[in-house]
């Protein structure tokens, strides 16, 4: 009689433990499901891709400038994310960013603290961002005829210089085309 009672208790304990275990698994599963739906979407892009992504470029231009838009398309094709603003005060924007009249072109852009003036090829901006020289930025003064945005996108740039410029009005040739 006692033996039966003891084994009944033992069986009951076993059954309880199994129930507990099943309950534990079920509750864990529910909590995990809830957490998964609550946690904001985790970035799906790998870290290396994020690190290699090009920074955003802000472009100021006049609304009617079609070559400015073509240059923006060139930048986007080369992997830049571009935010463009149509402005009527381009002269004062250039003055604010240290672009002297002799170095000026149509659009003025900002990227990672550098000023990019005019039809500078994307490849030069990428090199600038890698080299990080102590300059204000790069310029392609005027409107070079054979530059990205001024000619068909499959044409290679030629016949002009991309210049560096700094606070002391020094310019150097960054890239000769």
- For residues 67 and 122, which CB has a smaller minimum distance to Cu ion in the complex? 67
- For residues 135 and 148, which CB has a smaller minimum distance to Cu ion in the complex? 148
Closest distance to Cu ion from the beta carbon of 147 (Å): 8
Q: Residue 32 to residues 27, 37, 42: CA-CA distances in angstroms?
A: 8, 9, 15
Cα 98 to Cα 31: distance, rounded to the nearest angstrom? 57
Closest distance to Cu ion from the beta carbon of 154 (Å): 18
Distant-in-sequence, close-in-space partners of 155: CB < 8 Å, separation ≥ 6 = 146
Closest distance to Cu ion from the beta carbon of 124 (Å): 16
- For residues 103 and 106, which CB has a smaller minimum distance to Cu ion in the complex? 106
Cα 101 to Cα 91: distance, rounded to the nearest angstrom? 8
Closest distance to Cu ion from the beta carbon of 69 (Å): 9
- For residues 64 and 168, which CB has a smaller minimum distance to Cu ion in the complex? 64
- For residues 156 and 167, which CB has a smaller minimum distance to Cu ion in the complex? 156
Backbone φ and ψ for 46, nearest 5 degrees, come out as -70, 155
Closest distance to Cu ion from the beta carbon of 68 (Å): 5
How many C-beta atoms lie closer than 10 Å to residue 149's C-beta?
26
- Count CA within 13 A, CB hemisphere, residue 114: 25
Contact residues for Cu ion (CB under 5 A)? 67, 106
């Amino acid at each position: 009689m006692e033996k039966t009672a003891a084994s009944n208790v033992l069986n009951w304990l076993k059954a309880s433990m199994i129930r507990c275990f099943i309950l534990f698994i079920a509750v864990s599963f529910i909590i995990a499901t809830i957490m998964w739906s609550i946690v904001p979407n985790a970035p799906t892009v790998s870290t290396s891709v994020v690190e290699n992504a090009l920074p955003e470029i802000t472009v100021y231009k006049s609304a009617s400038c079609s070559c400015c838009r073509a240059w923006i398309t060139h930048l986007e094709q080369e992997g830049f994310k571009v935010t463009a603003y149509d402005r009527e005060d381009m002269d004062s924007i250039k003055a604010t960013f240290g672009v002297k009249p002799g170095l000026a072109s149509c659009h003025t852009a900002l990227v990672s603290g550098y000023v990019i003036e005019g039809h500078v090829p994307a490849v030069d901006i990428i090199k600038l961002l890698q080299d990080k020289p102590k300059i204000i930025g790069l310029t392609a003064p005027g409107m070079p005829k054979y530059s990205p945005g001024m000619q068909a996108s499959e044409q290679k740039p030629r016949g002009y210089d991309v210049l560096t410029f700094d606070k002391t009005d020094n310019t150097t040739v960054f890239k000769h085309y």
